Every structure is written in C-alpha cells, then in structure tokens.
Structure 1
Amino acid sequence: MKLTHTEQKTLSHKLYTALVLPLKDDEIDEQGLRQIVRYYAEHRFSRVGGLIANPEAGEVAYLSRAEKRRVLKIVMEEAGGRMPVLAGTFGWTTKDAVEAAQDAKEFGVDGLFVIPPAGSMDVSVAWDAAKYPEVWIDQILLQQAAADLPMFAHPISNSTPQWGLGLPLEATLAVCRAVPNMIGWKMTYSPQGARLIARALREHCPNVAVMPSSAHLFHDYLASGWQFDGAISGSFNYAMEPMLEHIEAFDRLDLEGARKIWNGGMARLHEYVYAEPGRLHVRYKIATWLRGLIDSPLMRAPMPRPRAEEILVISKLMTAAGLNVTRSQSEQVF
C-alpha cells in the first residue's frame, strides 16, 4: 500500500455509509441500487463521505461471488469517482475472502472492509480473540497479500459486558500491529469499551482512525472531541441529512445546534433502531424503505422479516425527528 500519511487520513477521516442492498423478488434490484448510490453521489455528502459495498448491512453473507461482483460494478459505476468506495470482503472460507479482496481490487475500490470469520463455533461464538487473534489476523494478511489496499476493520466479536460486540483490546492491538494496511477501526463497542479502545489506538496505533458506528452514541463521541475521526454506519441509509447536519454543528462548535437536532427526535430514533442487535439490520432496511429510498424492506432469508410493530414505531419516530416518510399506512403493515 503506497499512501502517504495525508492520503491515509483523507481516506479514513470520512463518513462511510454501510449500504443496504435493494432486493426485488429476492434478487438484486439493480436499478434500485443505482438510485440509492446516486442519492449519495449527488448530495454534498459525497464531499465528506463514502460508501461501503457488500457490508454486513448489505447482506454480504448471503450473496454469491457473482452477486458481490455485480454489486461492486454498479456501486463503482454510479459513484463515478465522486467519493471513495470500500468493499466488504466477508467469505465463509478464507479462499472466499481472498477472492473477494481480489475482485475488489479488480473493480478499483479505494479500500477493503474486512470482517472476521464466521460459521464453526471455533471461529465464531467460541472464539477467544484475546488469546487467539491469529484466527482473524491470518485471514486479513492473506487478503492484504492478494490486494494490497488500505483496510478498514469490522471488528465484531462475542458480546461481553466490557466490550459490547467489539473485539477486545488485546486482539485489537494485535491486529493493528500485524497489519500494515489497517487504517480504520469501526467502533462496534459499548461506550466504556469504545473509550478504552479509542485511547489505546491513539497511544499505540495512531495511524488507525477511530470510526464510530452506533449512531445512538454519536452525540457523546462527538462531544468528547477525540473519539470521532470518521464513521462507518448503516444509519446513514435512513438519516443521512440530519446526521450530517449534526456532525457539522459539532465541527463548527455549535453545541446548541447539535443539541437541537439530537434532542429533536434523532436520539430516540437511533435508540430504537439499535435497541436489539438481532434486529439492527432489519430496522436499517425498514427505515430506508419508509423514506422511499428503496422499494422493499425485505431481506434475503434467513434474515428475518420485519414486524408490523417495528414498521409503525420507526415510522412514528422518523416523523417526530423531521424525516419524510413516503410510505402509506397500508404499505406499512403487511
């Protein structure tokens, strides 16, 4: 990877949308995908933000290699160089993940969004990341060797009281020290865990950007003054405009303006979306659909179907937050 420190910072200090994937009859809605990418590319968001194709929110675990390649092709075409694009490289085998990295490089993406292994309990629910960090490091290094692109981490792990859903401190530092191309760390942590991880990255791996993810905690991270280099979040799918205004208010030290947005309904909306980790991506897609940005809230099975009560609650919270809900009452319940 041949990037100067300034180039690394330019790439990592961005607001990245983890794109949901429009589907139609359980297949990729290509026109719908083009439309949502244009929504970002034609907005001033493109000057400060970027997109992630094939993230977890984009149902990457349930896409074939051909489908992931098709998503990359469409996103790159529609982004048209107006903002950076990262590619999620999740694969059920390491071979799959390496091929995804190679495909990403072929399509000219700006970086890789690497996700830990899944499947067998040995590498998922029973994985002790602090003791055996090589379970993920080995896979990342093979992707780095295959593509040699800047890397951003999606450090999801077993849920713990201290770290939330994020990789523990020892493993975080092990990954960042072992992977020269790592320049961004998605903060998938509890508030306490995020603070400890961010401080450790500042002290030991200063070239790795601290990138909050959980939008219901953005106000606190921004207020800290040091826990927000950029962001990686699926919430930009459904609330990009007010979220951008909220961040910009902090940038110009307008605390009153930031509070007005946050306390005006944005906090409560995000809090509901993030209340249950097992419903997070379902709710991302519901909210994006309610805004009229995609034509269906359905995800590919075995991802769960939305419940009518979720749709109604999110609709009310979005309206209260000043977001335009375009779906009719009859469409909202099914």
Structure 2
Amino acid sequence: MKIPAPLTGVVPPVCTPLTPEREVDVPSLTRLVDHLVAAGVDALFVLGSSSEAAFLTDRQRLLVVETVVAHAAGRVPVLAGAIDMTTPRVLDHVAYTTGAGADAVVVTAPFYARTHPAEIARHYRLIAERSPVPVLAYDIPAAVHTKPDPELILELAADGTLAGLKDSSGDLAGFRAIVTGARSHPAITGFSVLTGSELIVDSALALGADGAVPGLANVDPEGYVRLYRLCRAGDWDAARAEQERLCALYGMVGVGDPARMGQSSSSLGAFKAALHLRGVIACPATADPQVPLSETETERVGKFLAAAGLL
C-alpha cells in the first residue's frame, strides 16, 4: 500500500522473535503483528535496530519482511530497513525487501569506511533513483558513526530524494532544526519527521514531529498510541503523565548486568522478555552473540510490567 505523505503516528520498530535455535519464529512474529495492529499503530517498521537486523542473515531478513507484509495484509503500511555498509549492498536489500512488498525502505548513511557529506548525499540519491518505493533516512550515529547535518537532510528532502527521517541520534536541537526547516522550506512537502526516542515523544510532537518509532512500543503499543492521540488533542497534562509512565516502564532496559553484557543485550533482552511474559511471543531469545537475561533479570522485567499495569 502507499504510505501517507507525511507518514504520521506510532510506527513500532518490530522485534524479531526467535526460536531457541535462533531461527525466526514465524508464529510468534505474526502474533506480534496482530498485537501491534490491534493497538491502533499507524505502520510497522521491520529490520531496524529493535528487529536485530544487524544480527540476522539475509535469508532471515527476507523471511521477516515476507511474513510481516503477508500478515499485515494491507492493514497498515510496512517499512523495511535496507541497512548495510555500502550503496551496492543496500541496493540489494532494497530489491528483495520491495520485491517482498515493503511499502518504503529505511536507509542509514554508509558505514565502516569514513564518509564525506557529499558521499552520503550520493548514497541516498543513488538509492532513491533505484528504489520503487519511498526512501526514509535513518539517523543513528551510535551504529554508523556518522551523523548527516540537518542541512543535508533538508536538501535531500527538497529535491525529492528522501520522503522522511527516523531520528535516533538523541540530538534534539538538530531534530528541531529539521522539523522547523521542513515546515518552512517552500520545496518540501509531505516529508515525515519521526523521533526514534521512547522518552521524549511528547516533546518531539510538541516541536512539530509527525510521529514516533519507539522500540518500547512493542511492549506497550496501546500506551504510545494513547500518548500520540493525547498530544494531537492538545491535552498536554495527560500526555505528560502518560509519557512519564512510559519512561518508568523503559527502565526495564537497564535490568542486564553491565559486567557481563552490553546495552543491546540488556535492552532487546528486556523487550523480548516482556513480550514473552505478556504471552505475545513464545521465546525471549536474542540473536547471537548477545547474552541472554538471567532468571533474576527477567523477574525484574516482570516487576516493571506490573508497575505499568501490563501484567
């Protein structure tokens, strides 16, 4: 289906349920899609960071896209990450994700080699020329070690290369520059600016953002849909209270012991443990080499869910 221009609302970056053998758990993935769509989300984003795309094989990535597109069945648009180190490799991902029916692709700047802003611009333009669907930029400097300037994003929006931005940079000032620049630029229409933060959705929407792509929305999609609607209704006191409840719930990402695991293991492990405890997925396994949560850590996730009224 065609994505709206701009794309607005809550767009969960869908977790990828795995079996104990670390294969894609298709029945759990379809239950997760139903869990999200029933909550009223506006689109689904697969093969991003919360999907563990960097840990999946190309075969597994394709299975995820095919499964979600088929099960969503046009109920909501499906965006797919086309994330890799170089332009030719990204174009390969664009080909198979759009062939599987993705409605848009989400693309980072190139990584591994250091890139110049001119090379980042060329990367996005070459991809947009070859992509049969809209291209959104994915600003995630923690993973790709570079951050496109707001001026570059606005230039690519103005010439029609980019249809939107998912901003996971944590740079609120830069985010604001893009939101205000897109609103005031005469050549930019229908450009979607989405925050990737779980913690400042109300602030981002108050700045003029179009929506949010929060990983925690896998666990509590109803909460983020409620938050979005409160913001759009201008009920900022109720929105702040809902955002604060979600911020407290987000504390689950810190349950993992940093002496034995990284933040990715702790965060994604917590999301999957929460989905398992809520009965949405069959197994909380994360992809190798991430370290699984212990029984005690999983019990702490359950306490966060109970405090948020989700258990």
User: Which whole-Å deviations, capped at 9, do the CAs of 1:198-250 have from their partners, x for residues lacking one?
Assistant: 2233334453222111111112223x2x4321222212101101221122222
CA distance in 2, matches of 1:158, 1:84: 27
Name which of 4, 8, 11 aligns with 1:16.
11
User: Which whole-Å deviations, capped at 9, do the CAs of 1:140-197 have from their partners, x for residues lacking one?
Assistant: 33322222311222111259xxxx995433443344345x241221122233333233
Name which of 282, 305, 308 aligns with 2:292.
305
CA distance in 2, matches of 1:78, 1:252: 31
**Residue in structure 2 matched with residue 329 of structure 1 by the alignment:** none
SS at match of 2:180: helix
Counterparts of residues 54-203 of structure 1 (less than 5 Å): 54-118=47-111, 120=112, 122-123=113-114, 127=115, 132-157=116-141, 167-177=148-158, 180-188=160-168, 189-203=170-184
Matched, 1:269 2:252: no
User: Could you state the TM-score of these two structures normalised by the residue count of structure 2?
Assistant: 0.83
- Consecutive unaligned residues in structure 1, runs of 5 or more: 325-334
CA distance in 2, matches of 1:323, 1:55: 25
Structure 1 letter corresponding to 2:174: G
Matched, 1:295 2:295: no
User: Could you state the TM-score of these two structures normalised by the residue count of structure 1?
Assistant: 0.78
- Consecutive unaligned residues in structure 2, runs of 5 or more: 256-261
Matched, 1:229 2:247: no
User: Which whole-Å deviations, capped at 9, do the CAs of 1:42-78 have from their partners, x for residues lacking one?
Assistant: x1515xx111121121121222222222111111110
**Residue in structure 1 matched with residue 36 of structure 2 by the alignment:** 40
SS at match of 2:286: coil
Matched, 1:220 2:203: yes
Matched, 1:249 2:224: no
CA distance in 2, matches of 1:287, 1:241: 15
**Residue in structure 2 matched with residue 331 of structure 1 by the alignment:** none
SS at match of 1:315: helix
**Residue in structure 2 matched with residue 323 of structure 1 by the alignment:** 310
SS at match of 2:193: strand
CA distance in 2, matches of 1:273, 1:313: 10
1:158 and 1:240, CA in 2 relative to 1: closer, same or farther beyond 3 A? closer
Following superposition, the deviation at residue 274 of structure 1 comes to 8.1
CA distance in 1, matches of 2:176, 2:300: 31
Structure 1 letter corresponding to 2:26: E
Percent sequence identity is 23
CA distance in 2, matches of 1:215, 1:274: 14
What is the aligned residue count?
298
SS at match of 1:236: helix
- Which shows bigger deviation, 252-261 or 180-189? 252-261
SS at match of 1:23: coil
User: Which whole-Å deviations, capped at 9, do the CAs of 1:24-53 have from their partners, x for residues lacking one?
Assistant: 011111111121112233x1515xx11112
Structure 2 letter corresponding to 1:192: A
CA distance in 1, matches of 2:132, 2:34: 28
- Which shows bigger deviation, 82-91 or 187-196? 187-196
Contact 2:217 2:223 in 1 (8 A): no
- Which shows bigger deviation, 299-308 or 26-35? 299-308
